[in-house]
Amino acid sequence: MPTTDFRISARDGRARTGAITTPRGTIRTPAFMPVGTAATVKGMMPESVRETGADILLGNTYHLMLRPGAERVDRLGGLHRFMNWGGPILTDSGGFQVMSLAGLRKLTEDGVTFKSHIDGSKHALSPERSMEIQRLLGSDIVMCFDECPALPADRKRIEESMRLSMRWAQRSRDAFGDRPGHMLFGIQQGGLEQDLRAESAEALTAIGFDGYAIGGLAVGEGQEAMFGCLDFAPDQLPEDRPRYLMGVGKPDDIVGAVKRGIDMMDCVLPSRSGRTGQAWTRRGQVNLKNARHADDPRPLDEDCTCPACRNYSRAYLHHVQRAGEMIAGMLLTWHNLHYYQELMGEMRDAIAAGAFDAFEARFHADRAAGDIDRL
Ligand SMILES: [Zn+2]
C-alpha cells in the first residue's frame, strides 16, 4: 500500500531539514511550492518548473472548482494528468480565496456561499465539499477547509473564526476518511494571539493530521508581526510533522520562517513578479523595466545558471519587457523560481551542515550590497 512519511534528517537551532515521501515523489524540506493557480504555473512548462528544482506544486481549489470544474478534471484523469505534472500537488481548501476574491459571500456554520468573480454564478463550499473537490482533483496533500479573517481584526472576531475553523477541521477530517498515499493538513488559526494559537494547535493535535499549516499570516500584518508570531506558533504544533506556512513570501520572509522551524511555503510572488519585470536575486530586487539596463550586455546574475541568466543580457530582458513580449515573463519567471529553489537548497545544505547562522549572515550581506553598479 502506498504510504506517506516525513523524516527530519538534521536540525540547526529551530530550523530543520528532511523529506516528505509520497507515492508521487519526495519533497525535500524546507520546500518552496510554486503556485499553479489555474492548472499552470503561468509562463512555465511543467518540465521547466521541475528543472528549477521544484518538488511539488500548489493548485487552487477555488479557481479550479470554478474553471474548468473539479468533476471535469476528474473525468479527464485528474489534475496531474490534466496539467502534465507527475510530481506531488498540494491543493488549498478554497476558503482563503473565497474570502479574498469572491463577491457576495455568506458565511454560516455549514460553510460559505459566494458568487464567482469570473461570471457571477453561485457556488457553495463546505468542509465536505472542499474535501470532495480536492479528492476529484487528485491532490496529494489536502488542506482542511478553514476561515481566515483579514488582519487587523479584533480579538473576538479572531477567536470566533478560529473556533469555527476548528469545528470545520473535525468535519474535514471526517469527510477526508482513510486515503493511503494522501495527506491531510490541519490549519492553525488565532491571528497574532499566542493563547488562541495554542488553543487552535491543541484542537488540531487532538483531531490528528498528517501535517500542520500556520494560516492567517502574511495577510497584511507586516514582517515583524509575522516573525513575532512565528517565534511561538511552530513550536505549538507537533514536532514530528511537517509545518507549512501558507502564502509566504519574499526571500527574507522565507529565510526568517525557516529559521523559526517552518518546513514548507508557497507564494505567487516569484511568478507574479516575473510577469511585471521584477527579478529576485541574491543581491535583492532588480527592476528590468529601468532604463539603466537598456545598454547593459551583462547577465541579470552572472552566478545564476538559469536560462535567462545563461543566455540573455540585461539589455535583452529590458527590451522584451518594454516591448510586452511573452518571453519577458517566461524568462523572468524562470529566473525567479530558479532563485527561490536555489535559496531553499542552500538552506537545506546549511541546516545539514549546522551552518545556518553563517548562511543567514551571508544572505543578508549580499542583499545589503545591492545590485551590481551600472555601467
Ligand atoms: Zn537566473
Using the structure block, give the residue that is written with the C-alpha cell 458568487: 115
Residue 331: what pLDDT? 98
Q: Give catalytic residue positions.
A: 92, 266
Q: Which residues contact 286 (CB under 8 A, 6 or more apart)?
A: 278, 279, 280, 300, 371
Question: How many Å is the maximal CA-CA distance in the chain?
Answer: 62
What CA–CA distance (Å, rounded) separates 371 from 34?
25
Residue 100: what pLDDT? 83
- DSSP 8-state code for residue 291: G
Host H or E run for residue 294: none
Could you tell me the distance, in angstroms and rounded to a whole number, from the CA of residue 91 to the centre of ligand 1? 28
Could you tell me the distance, in angstroms and rounded to a whole number, from the CA of residue 306 to the centre of ligand 1? 4
Q: What's the rounded mean pLDDT across residues 140-155? A: 90
Could you tell me the distance, in angstroms and rounded to a whole number, from the CA of residue 92 to the centre of ligand 1? 29
Could you tell me the distance, in angstroms and rounded to a whole number, from the CA of residue 53 to the centre of ligand 1? 13
> Could you give the count of Cα atoms lying within 13 Å of 315 in the half-sphere of its Cβ?
6
**Cβ(205)–Cβ(237) below 8 Å:** yes
Kindly give the interhelix angle for 314-322 and 326-352, rounded to the nearest 10 degrees.
130
Could you tell me the distance, in angstroms and rounded to a whole number, from the CA of residue 242 to the centre of ligand 1? 29
pLDDT > 70: percent of the chain: 99
CA 124 to mean position of chain CA atoms:
24
Residue 2: what pLDDT? 65
**Cβ(218)–Cβ(247) below 8 Å:** yes
Q: What's the rounded mean pLDDT across residues 334-339? A: 98
Residue 342's SS3 state is: helix
Could you tell me the distance, in angstroms and rounded to a whole number, from the CA of residue 358 to the centre of ligand 1? 23
Global pTM? 0.97
With cut-offs at 50, 70 and 90, classify the pLDDT of residue 101. confident
With cut-offs at 50, 70 and 90, classify the pLDDT of residue 203. very high
Q: What is the pLDDT of residues 113-126, one digit of tens each?
A: 999 999 999 999 99
What CA–CA distance (Å, rounded) separates 104 from 240?
40
With cut-offs at 50, 70 and 90, classify the pLDDT of residue 99. confident
Could you tell me the distance, in angstroms and rounded to a whole number, from the CA of residue 310 to the centre of ligand 1? 7
Could you tell me the distance, in angstroms and rounded to a whole number, from the CA of residue 330 to the centre of ligand 1? 12
Q: What's the rounded mean pLDDT across residues 130-137? A: 98
What CA–CA distance (Å, rounded) separates 262 from 148?
20
Q: What is the pLDDT of residues 15-43, one digit of tens each?
A: 999 999 999 999 999 999 999 999 999 99
Using the structure block, give the residue that is written with the C-alpha cell 494560516: 215
Q: Following DSSP, what letter does each residue of 193-247 receive, concatenated? A: -HHHHHHHHHHHHHH--SEEEE-S-SSSS-HHHHHHHHTTHHHHS-TTS-EEETT
Query: Any bridge partners for residue 124, and if so which?
Result: 113
pLDDT surpasses 80 at 102: no
